[in-house]
Structure 1
Amino acid sequence: MKRIQRNPDILWREEDDAVEEANSLLESGGAADEIGTAILFSDGTMVTLNILGTEIWKRCEGMTVDEIIAELLQEFDVEEPVLRSDVAAFLNELEEKRYIKYV
């Protein structure tokens, strides 16, 4: 299976306070999908990622899709088919924008 590689030209940073806030909400049973926990910069464009997007992005350094899903299933309370669909959609979007590639 192909491994995912981030485009080295994409600059990014994780927002520590936002990650802490999102994790607190998730631990208390709340929704954290509207909290921007990372920012990607490319060609003058800025993209904000929520907690799931951030965790997927952080794993786009040589992991396969199945490896990413296996790790995320340990971290998030979500059913595998739902997670698999969300991860696939997000990775497709990143690939279309040339933020990642499969090697």
Structure 2
Amino acid sequence: MSSKQLTAEEAAKLQLVQAVVSPEELLPVAVVIARSLIEGKSMTSVARALACITHSARGSMAEGLEKERQKFAELFTTADAKEGIQAFIEKRTPHFTHS
């Protein structure tokens, strides 16, 4: 908010970034982080989350929240939602079909 530019190390110290890596390490580290975020999740839900993120970058807060509400409601009609809920009830790992 101060518009002061920070070095990568300063941003890391303030916990504004997850990691500081060399340019050569950037893609491999980004892939590891991305995989850790989606591992074990339904790609149906991941796709909708990404759609919301992309949409929110272009619109207003109200539009973004409406899009999120719509995508969240859509998830409840999917086979993966039913599987996720059932797996939670049965205290087991879900087996998503990504549908």
**Greater share of helix:** 2
TM-score, normalised by the number of residues in structure 2: 0.28
Q: Kindly name which structure, 1 or 2, has the bigger radius of gyration based on alpha carbons.
A: 2
Greater relative contact order (CA < 8 Å, ≥ 6 in sequence): 1
**Greater share of strand:** 1
TM-score, normalised by the number of residues in structure 1: 0.28
